[in-house]
Amino acid sequence: MNKTAELKILIKAYFRVCQVLNIDKKAHVSLSVESLKPTHKSMHCSNDDNEIDTIHVKRSLMAFLNFYRSLYNFSGGDVAFMNHWLDVKNKRFGVPPRELLLTREGIQRLNQYFEALHSSNNQSKAICSRNDENN
């Protein structure tokens, strides 16, 4: 599969998720513009600007889609719950998670949150398994 086809698939998935999560068009534009910014200020491109832009867009889209997958798994696929979770101020973030979806850094924070949550769940399951084996 060529890079353009991959990017089209990611963009299509991105728009579907935005529809499910009730993300408005203004937020679409913000995330798209944000995703084009290089991750390192020292990164300067000469001949391969389009290649670098494509890489940044793909990374941003993948991070967003990974967040959605985690939220989907966390909610059991309950769309109403997902949107509620996004709209309610979260103690961990100090803002509603929906606000974090507007920047790459915000999406990274959300992904880290779910990674930590997943990790702690796995540790709990391992402890329960050891306790069951000892009884």
pLDDT tens, residue by residue, 21-61: 998 866 665 565 555 555 544 344 444 556 667 787 888 89
Cβ within 8 Å of residue 103, ≥6 positions away:
30, 31, 34
So what's the pLDDT on residue 107? 93
Q: What is the pLDDT of residues 100-115, one digit of tens each?
A: 998 889 999 999 999 9
Percent helix, strand, coil in the chain (nearest 5)?
Answer: 75, 0, 25
Contact in structure between 74 and 115 (CB atoms under 8 Å): no
Q: What is the pLDDT of residues 71-93, one digit of tens each?
A: 999 999 999 999 999 999 999 99
Entry pTM: 0.75
So what's the pLDDT on residue 109? 95
Going from N- to C-terminal start, the domains of the chain cover 3-134
So what's the pLDDT on residue 45? 47
Place of tokens 């941003």: 60
Contact in structure between 55 and 30 (CB atoms under 8 Å): no
Share of the chain above pLDDT 70, in %: 69
So what's the pLDDT on residue 47? 47
